[in-house]
């Protein structure tokens, strides 16, 4: 299983802080997984439909959406950060 | 000295500066970010990614210590609900050289804006809310430090 955590408006639109999903097939990228989730429709489509607005982290490190998930345990999906 | 704190509570700027001054370097620079009021804003809500925030801020601090001859630095970032006038973030740096203190302080705050996993939500008096959009200039500014050396 892979844990996905959501933040900010991604979290609000999906309506979940985190969830477990089946581990994607070998070689799957973050973008592949995001596309699969967006296809669930509803809040998922609203949150994840436009991948250009998303940023991601694998095991607490920022990664591009074209990164292969591999054996990472936690994927985070969120909008561009606005700290400081 | 490296002090990193991610906390809900407020902090004492004078105490943070005194700790940096006590390192004896002769130069201390700092930046304090405060919630800007106006436009009917009643509060800013800061969400973060707890498992990542501290590690990521630590990395940014290590990067600053590797780039400039610093005797110490201090970074404090708050989360939770903050009202106008409340302090959000503090960055302080101490060095024997003013350029190192000033530049590393600017670097740290630029990087926190684009590399630390925080998100701000605005709450207005009329009940409206909205997530703050990331500014392209901030990302460009942070990237700008990569071109230097």
* Cβ contact B115–A81 (<8 Å): yes
Cα B93 to Cα A51, B19, B57, B100, B101, distances in angstroms: 37, 10, 14, 8, 5
As a whole number of angstroms, the distance between CA A8 and CA B131 comes to 7
Which residue of chain A comes nearest to B31, CA vs CA? A84
As a whole number of angstroms, the distance between CA B91 and CA B112 comes to 10
* Cβ contact B118–A84 (<8 Å): yes
* Residue keyed to tokens 């009643």: B42
* Cβ contact B89–A83 (<8 Å): yes
* Sequential DSSP letters for A15-65: T-SEEEEPPPPTT-BHHHHHHHHHTT-HHHHHHHS-GGG-EEEETTEEE-T
**pLDDT one digit per residue (tens) for chain B, 149 residues:** 999 999 999 999 999 999 999 999 989 999 999 999 999 999 999 999 999 999 999 999 999 999 999 999 999 999 999 999 999 999 999 999 999 999 999 999 999 998 999 999 999 999 999 999 998 777 777 778 776 44
Give me the pLDDT at residue B149, please.
Answer: 41
The alpha carbon of residue A32 is apart from the nearest alpha carbon of chain B, in Å, by 23
**Highest CATH level, class, for B2-147:** alpha beta
Domains of chain B by residue range: 2-147
* Cβ contact B51–A84 (<8 Å): no
The alpha carbon of residue B113 is apart from the nearest alpha carbon of chain A, in Å, by 5
**Average pLDDT per 10 consecutive residues for chain A, totaling 84 residues:** 98 98 95 97 97 96 97 97 92
Structural domain A2-78, CATH architecture: Roll (3.10)
Q: Is the ipTM of this complex over 0.85?
A: yes
- Decide if B116 contacts B53 (C-beta within 8 A): yes
Domains of chain A by residue range: 2-78
As a whole number of angstroms, the distance between CA B114 and CA B112 comes to 6
* Sequential DSSP letters for B112-140: HHHHS-EEEEEEETTS-EEEPPPPHHHHH
């Amino acid at each position: 299983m892979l844990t996905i955590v959501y933040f900010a408006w991604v979290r609000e639109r999906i309506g979940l802080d985190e969830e477990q999903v089946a581990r994607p097939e070998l070689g799957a990228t973050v973008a592949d997984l995001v596309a699969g989730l967006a296809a669930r429709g509803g809040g998922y489509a609203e949150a994840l439909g436009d991948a250009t607005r998303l940023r991601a982290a694998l095991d607490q490190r920022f990664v591009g959406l074209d990164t292969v998930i591999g054996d990472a345990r936690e994927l985070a999906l969120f909008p561009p950060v606005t700290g400081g | 000295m490296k002090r990193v704190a991610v906390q809900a509570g407020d902090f004492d700027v004078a105490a943070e500066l005194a700790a940096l001054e006590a390192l004896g370097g002769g130069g201390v620079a700092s930046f304090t970010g405060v919630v800007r009021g106006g436009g009917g804003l009643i509060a800013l809500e800061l969400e973060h990614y707890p498992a990542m925030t501290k590690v990521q801020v630590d990395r940014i601090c290590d990067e600053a210590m590797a780039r400039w001859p610093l005797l110490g630095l201090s970074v404090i970032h708050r989360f939770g609900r903050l009202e106008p006038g409340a302090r959000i973030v503090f960055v302080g740096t101490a060095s024997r050289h003013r350029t190192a203190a000033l530049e590393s302080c600017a670097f740290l705050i630029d990087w926190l804006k684009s590399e630390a996993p925080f998100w701000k939500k605005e709450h207005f008096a009329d009940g409206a809310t909205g997530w703050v959009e990331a500014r392209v200039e901030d990302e460009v500014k942070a990237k700008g430090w990569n071109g230097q050396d």
